[in-house]
Amino acid sequence: QAKILKRGRATLFSEDLSARARERIHMLTDLRAAFSAERLFLAYQPQVDLPSGKVLGAEALLRWKTEDGRSIPPDQFIPLAEQSGLTVPIGEWVLRTACHQLKRLTEGGHANFRMAINVSHTQFREPSFVPALGWALQDCRVDPSQLELELTESVAIGHIESTSAKIQEIRNMGITVAMDDFGTGYSSLSVLKQLNVDRLKVDRSFVMEIGEDGDATGIAELVIALGRQLRLVTIAEGVESEEQRRQLLKMGCHEGQGYLFGRPMPAKEFEAWMAAQG
């Protein structure tokens, strides 16, 4: 009996595995096709100054529009791109596209607008990464301070010294660097100090529970206090309610990003939204 059960399970398990493997291969083929057919696009989400509500910039967020019109979120396909060598070409496309949009916005009257892009650790480690930043900036002739890179704590794992040196090199070019999703990774406070970034993004999971859960309110508050202590600009992600905005402001948070201010929008929609801000 036990043997049959076991064999049954083993069969189920392997069928399940191969179905998943097939699914992955399909998805990978689709992703390659999407990349070449330009079905990847960027959505732009505003980042605002909390006290005044003024729009300071935007974060570029990658989207994949499938042929049947569905939109696949980046969390689902970035790991796939990572395993298949597509990270670097997609990352370079994101950089060029976001810089081009930054140029359009700047020329359209939004001087000093800041564009933040997400950089994966593979892309960051690539020797061609820093030169690519230089070319992208030269190409769109915006001020380097208008470009921001969002890195997660994972870039530093096992590479604290080289990461810190590369961040310094990037900041010397005039580009700013933000630590994304702070508090969700494994790194310690000393890593944050060593990495020497400009801006600290308070993860949405801590912001989400402000006003609901005592502990999470405490964590958001601690992260903001830590950022201020290290003289970093703090920005809270995932701000959805007026109550959260109010509390964050009270905690001394500088900037905010979230549905309360604006959803991620495709380029044309974002330009119209910006124009309506006056």
Summarize as ranges the residues that interact with ligand C2E (CB under 6 A): 45, 61-62, 73-75, 78, 94, 118, 120, 150, 180-181, 204, 237-240, 257-259, 264
Closest to ligand C2E by CB, 3 vs 268, is: 268
Which residue sits closest to ligand C2E, CB atoms considered?
A: 258
150 part of the interface to Mg ion, by CB under 5 A? yes
User: In whole angstroms, how close is the CB of 91 to ligand C2E at the nearest point?
Assistant: 6
Cα–Cα dist 275/278, whole Å: 6
Which does residue 32 bind out of Mg ion, ligand C2E, none, counting CB within 5 to 8 angstroms by kind?
Answer: none
Closest to ligand C2E by CB, 118 vs 247, is: 118
* Torsion sign over Cα 75, 80, 82, 88: negative
Distances (CA, A) of 218 to 78, 129, 194, 241: 32, 37, 24, 18
Closest by Cα among 65, 47, 58, 44 to 264: 44
180 part of the interface to Mg ion, by CB under 5 A? yes
**Tokens 């070409």 found at:** 89
Closest to ligand C2E by CB, 147 vs 190, is: 147
Cα–Cα dist 264/173, whole Å: 28
Which does residue 133 bind out of ligand C2E, Mg ion, none, counting CB within 5 to 8 angstroms by kind?
Answer: none
148 part of the interface to Mg ion, by CB under 5 A? no
Closest to Mg ion by CB, 118 vs 247, is: 118
User: In whole angstroms, how close is the CB of 94 to ligand C2E at the nearest point?
Assistant: 4
Which does residue 144 bind out of ligand C2E, Mg ion, none, counting CB within 5 to 8 angstroms by kind?
Answer: none
Binding mask 237-266 for Mg ion (x = CB under 5 A): x-----------------------------
**Rule CB under 5 A: which of 81-120 touch Mg ion?**
118
User: In whole angstroms, how close is the CB of 21 to ligand C2E at the nearest point?
Assistant: 24
Q: Are 248 and 236 in contact (CB under 8 A)?
A: yes
In Å, the largest CA–CA distance within the chain is 75
Closest to ligand C2E by CB, 104 vs 263, is: 263
User: In whole angstroms, how close is the CB of 150 to Mg ion at the nearest point?
Assistant: 4
Which does residue 258 bind out of ligand C2E, Mg ion, none, counting CB within 5 to 8 angstroms by kind?
Answer: ligand C2E
* Torsion sign over Cα 190, 192, 198, 201: negative
Closest to ligand C2E by CB, 119 vs 137, is: 119
Which does residue 27 bind out of ligand C2E, Mg ion, none, counting CB within 5 to 8 angstroms by kind?
Answer: none
Cα–Cα dist 145/142, whole Å: 8
Site for Mg ion, rule CB under 5 A: 118, 150, 180-181, 237
